[in-house]
Amino acid sequence: MNYITLEEYYRRQFSFGQHHKYSITDLEQMLPFELDILNDMLIDWLEEQEKKRNTL
């Protein structure tokens, strides 16, 4: 697929597992577009938290 490399794949799995406590098995059973949506939502949430922290 054009949109992701194997390295990016493992980095993403590691981040979800290590930092956000997702199970690798659960992640692997998702459909790729579901994981993309989850990834985008997580980034949005992290940016929101960052903004909140900066305004305090």
Residues binding other proteins (CB under 8 A):
1-6, 9, 27-33, 35-36
Closest to other proteins by CB, 7 or 51: 7
- H or E segment at 21? none
Q: In the complex, what is the shortest distance from the CB of residue 9 to other proteins, in angstroms, rounded to a whole number? A: 6
Separation of CA 30 from chain center: 12
Cβ closer to other proteins: 3 or 51?
Answer: 3
Whose CA is closest to 32, among 11, 54, 10, 4? 4
- Least distance (Å) between residue 43 CB and other proteins: 18
**Residue carrying structure tokens 């697929």:** 1
